[in-house]
Chain A
Amino acid sequence: MAFIEVRNIEKHYKEIKAVKGVSFDIEKGKVIGLLGPNGAGKSTTISMISTLLKPDKGEVFFEGESILKNPIKIQKKLGIVPQEIALYESLSAYDNLEFWGSAYGLKKAKLKERIKEVAKLIGLEDRLKKPVKSFSGGMKRRLNIGVALLHEPELLIMDEPTVGIDPQSRNHILDTVVKLNEKGMTIIYTSHYMEEVEKLCDKIYIMDEGEIVADGDIDQLVNLVPKNKVFKIGFNKINDDLINSVKNIDGVEDVKIKDGILIIDTNRSEKMINELVDIASLYKLSIESVDIQRVNLETVFLHLTGKALRDE
């Protein structure tokens, strides 16, 4: 029996089908990544797992028991870190931790003890009396996580916990996730930063348009894509003659245009760049940028969906 079993869950918002029959299992003590662009259905999926949304169809089982029939069981063992800073910004960090600790049923000495421990873990011991609104984005994110850890949950759901913060705070958060997992906590981590998912997750589910399009560990996912390279070439102008000529290069398997950049999927080596220069000369075009990429999760995602993970 898996720690969490998600069985064919669906969710509609009026005409829009946000999640279309998603199923997966989560083993205890693992870090699971949900990877996908905005609107892929990640947040809706975790909202259903966390009892916030009721699935239109399907079931979620926590330790073998339906969370629809008994939501309290998972609620007691679940910590959730929403994508938004879900804190009372006008209150102090201490007041927030105290309130949320109480919400999770902690009382008196235990509550004080946990506030102290969590404040140390998130590196905010010296700022507890300050109002949250005076915090930097990174500090707020850390407190947002701290609130979810007060009751020592067995399952932690983190929905894009590093959005919009400085590298130092991001590293602190990623290190915290690693530490928590080392202590045995099961974590569901959603992100559209592939490097975070690559670093943290034992298993990754790639979502797009409400569906899981692939799953596995990093190696399994990378193997889904032929050992190709991706050339991203910026020309001063792209026309049909150029595209057709590039497609005719030996070893080129696919050519796409994104944001004025020609994206070429090929099994050729870096030397293919010489042929691209020749084609540019032929059509009196100039090459303005060159980026040659190895296969990674971004490439996998691009390969599977034809989309980039995030708009940059």
Chain B
Amino acid sequence: MDFLKLLRKDFKVFFSDPASVSILLIMPIVLSSILSLALGGTFSSGVRTSPVPIAIVKEYDKEVDNKLLKESFDKSNIGNLEQMDQDMFDKFDIEKLFFDGFLDNKDIKSLITYEILDKKTAYEKLDKGKVYSILILPENFSYDLMTNMMTPYRNKVNLEFIEGQGREIRNTMVKSIISQFFDEISSSSVMKNILIEEGIKRDELDKVIEVLPQFIEEQGNQNIEKREFIDKTVSRKTPITSVQYYTIGMLAMFMLFTAGSHSYELLNEKKQKTYQRQIVAGVKLKKILLSQYVSAVLFLILQQSLLFIFSRLVFKSDFGALPNLITLMIVSAAAMAGLSLLLTVIAFVSENYAVSSVFQNVLIYVLALLGGSYLPLEVMPKIIQTIGPFILNGGIVKVFIQNAMGVSIGKMMPYLISLIIQGVAFLVAGIIILSKKRGVSDV
């Protein structure tokens, strides 16, 4: 028999059940849309459409701080820092770095919007929910940080972060992003002190002081570098939107449903005697199984394509480089169809739907949780974070998310290899079960 006719029949039969098709094709779209909109706040870039509003209270006076700093330099006995001209001060202006270089950066602005307010107004707005939190930059903020950066001294800077109620998750993200900035400043300061201490030890302080302005300038430039900050947000990766995340999460879960649904087909045929009729007509079991496998792969690819296209058109989501995306779609569909075939064989040889039914009604929900379909693995216990990406659906979530984040195929290879191994293992297990349980020619 012509294989394509067999495949066409399998596809037609599958599509002739409107309930199954709508569940497998429409439900992922509906659910991913609902979850994306409802849980967008848990994602760093879920705020792309609604950045977190915060108030910043400046308790310092920059003019006063600069004056103090110059006076400190004049009294300093660490050496001649006069080499640092006004231009140098400007280049390493902490206020400029924080507001212009960091908070006004395009990517950060998509996550956090701020307004500089006095303390009273800031609290009023916090109470009314117009801002989610207040960041208080303390007295001598500029002076202390500039001192830390430009002198061997280290002044303590106490930032205050006041959070509004009910915004914990989004405020945690804001705190994390802002901390990242100050961690960078702090590490630059430490590096500079190590440089000076090393100079003293080697009795080469003069040489250190000569290169110090250049070192400070480099640190400043590094901090202004946009990608540095963006790459070191909460997840330390290019953020993805909640729409992207839940499109992928729901896709992985509904791919499991497709695998489960498909696994009923061959036993259905056996019970309806269409399978036996095919065998008597000379159609080989291996051809029937191959058709089941290929139709599952094609349906899974269709399912993926519809969801990605919908998300792209409606939410303008980007799922990464298209050639890579297509590769991932094929690999993940082939692996998932392997699972489907194993379930198909189990149902077929045992002549009951129990395993498929348990898979559909219980196991999928557990796997979806472990694989990160409901919540990102980053918020899960460590053990789940470790195993999640290496279970079938977890691996699928991982590679699609990595692709959306711009990670190269090479870097996601461990997960891809894991998917391929799992797909092959399912197929081999299916073949072994079939050959052990089935008589030579009996059906």
Q: How many residues of B contact A (CB 8 A)?
A: 25
Interface bits B420-443 vs A (CB < 8 Å: 1, else 0) = 000000000000000000011111
- In chain B, positions 258-304 with a C-beta closer than 8 Å to chain A are 272-274, 276-283
A234 CB–B CB distance under 8 Å: no
Answer yes or no: A99 CB below 8 A from chain B CBs: yes
Cβ–Cβ < 8 Å partners of B439 in chain A: 54
Cβ of A257 under 8 Å from chain B: no
Contact with B along A83-98 (1 / 0, CB 8 A): 0111111110001001
Measured CA separation A86–B12 after assembly (Å): 16
Contact A103 B281 (CB under 8 A): yes
Complex Cα–Cα for A105 and B5 (A)? 11
Query: Closest residue to B275 on the A side, CB-wise?
Result: A86
A-B contact count (CB 8 A): 78
Query: A71 to B280, alpha carbons, bound, how many Å?
Result: 9
Bound-state CA distance A51–B279 (Å) is 8
Name the contact of B442 in the complex, choosing from A54, A88, A90 (C-beta under 8 A).
Answer: A54
Which secondary structure characterizes the binding site on chain A? loop
Q: Mark A47-65, 1 if CB is under 8 A from B, else 0.
A: 0001111100000000000
Q: Which residue of A lies closest to B17 (CB)?
A: A90
Q: Does B71 contact A (CB under 8 A)?
A: no
Best-buried of B1, B280, B282, B440 by chain A (most CB within 10 Å): B280
Q: Which of A53, A76, A95, A100 contacts B277 (CB 8 A)?
A: A100
Contact A88 B9, beta carbon cutoff 8 Å? yes
**A173 within 8 Å of B by Cβ?**
no
Q: Check A102–B440 contact: CB distance below 8 A.
A: no
Contact with A along B15-50 (1 / 0, CB 8 A): 011000000000000000000000000000000000
Q: Once the chains bind, are B12 and A95 in contact (CB under 8 Å)? A: yes
CB contacts under 8 Å to B, within A93-132, are 95, 98-100, 102-105, 107, 131
Q: In the complex, how many angstroms separate the beta carbon of A134 from the nearest chain B beta carbon? A: 12
Which of A76, A91, A107 contacts B13 (CB under 8 A)? A91
The distance from the CB of A157 to the nearest CB of chain B, in whole angstroms, is 9
Q: Chain B's interface: helix, strand, loop or mixed, by majority?
A: loop
Number of A interface residues in the complex (CB < 8 A): 31
Residue in B16, B273, B281, B441 whose CB lies within 8 Å of A100: B281
B273 cross-chain contacts in A, Cβ below 8 A? 82, 84, 86
B63 sits at the interface (CB 8 A): no
The reply to whether B13 and A90 form a contact with Cβ atoms under 8 Å apart is yes
A230 at the interface (CB under 8 A from B): no
Per the bound structure, the CA–CA distance linking A102 and B17 in Å amounts to 23
The answer to whether A78 and B442 have CB atoms under 8 Å apart is no
Query: Can you offer 13 A-B residue contacts whose CB atoms are under 8 A?
Result: A53-B441, A53-B443, A54-B442, A71-B282, A72-B282, A75-B282, A85-B272, A86-B272, A87-B272, A88-B9, A90-B17, A91-B12, A98-B5
List 15 additional A-B contacts (Cβ < 8 Å) besides A82-B273, A90-B13, A99-B5: A51-B441, A52-B443, A53-B442, A54-B442, A71-B282, A75-B281, A78-B280, A86-B274, A87-B272, A91-B12, A95-B12, A103-B1, A103-B282, A105-B282, A131-B16
